[in-house]
Structure 1
Amino acid sequence: MIHITFITNDSKTVQAPENSNLLRVSLREKGGIPFKCGGGICGTCKCRIESGLEHTDAVKPKERRHLNEDDLAAGYRMACQTFVNGDISVSW
């Protein structure tokens, strides 16, 4: 199991299986990441991986529609498109 800390939500920490979708974990565990579509179309679930960025999967083409290279370098991802394979901390 991995640990995901939702910094913006009073640093709430939850456990999830490896290769979990970040937005789905947030919904299931009441992590609080904002969302509207859940499919990479609206950009609402933009969040910043504050620690553990190396534990996320590759950036998807849908994310590149909403995030530029500076955003990606700063740790921003779209929660609906991000799968987590190790401990992370996330803010939004």
Structure 2
Amino acid sequence: MPVVVFRKNGEVYREAVKENTNLVVRAGIRQFPFPHLRYECGMGKCSRCACVVIAGGEHLPPPNWKEKKQLGERLDAGYRLACQLWIQHDIELAQDDPPAAS
């Protein structure tokens, strides 16, 4: 079973998941630790679930057209949309909350 390491706001969450798991689906049904994942539409339209891939990106398929449209240049910085990823191998992701508006 793949292990997902998820980093958010200085916290580290780690969990084995079934192969072919989508983290946004897991977040939606409140399965630990993925309720901490920021997401909204789950369809690649809003990019709220954008995460930086720290490790394991070599096992991911190339970005699809939704990721290219939503992330643009952020793809070069290692960002991917969690809603478009079906986890098949160990992966480490990071997602920090945006700074609060002043």
| Pairwise TM-score range, normalised by the shorter structure | 0.7 to 0.9
Matches within 5 A, 1:1-92: 1-8=1-8, 10-27=11-28, 28-31=31-34, 32-68=36-72, 70-92=73-95
Structure 1 gap segments, 5+ residues each? none
Work out the CA distance in 1 between the residues paired with 2:21 and 2:3.
Answer: 11
Work out the CA distance in 2 between the residues paired with 1:86 and 1:47.
Answer: 16
Work out the CA distance in 1 between the residues paired with 2:65 and 2:37.
Answer: 21
Letter in 2 for 1:5: V
Higher strand share: 1
Deviation of the 1:19 alpha carbon: 2.1
Structure 1, 9-18 or 23-32: larger mean CA deviation: 23-32
Q: Which has the larger radius of gyration?
A: 2
- TM-score, with structure 1 as normaliser: 0.85
- TM-score, with structure 2 as normaliser: 0.77
Q: Secondary structure at the match of 1:84?
A: coil
Structure 2 gap segments, 5+ residues each? 96-102
How many residues align? The count is 91
Aligned-residue Cα RMSD (Å) equals 1.7
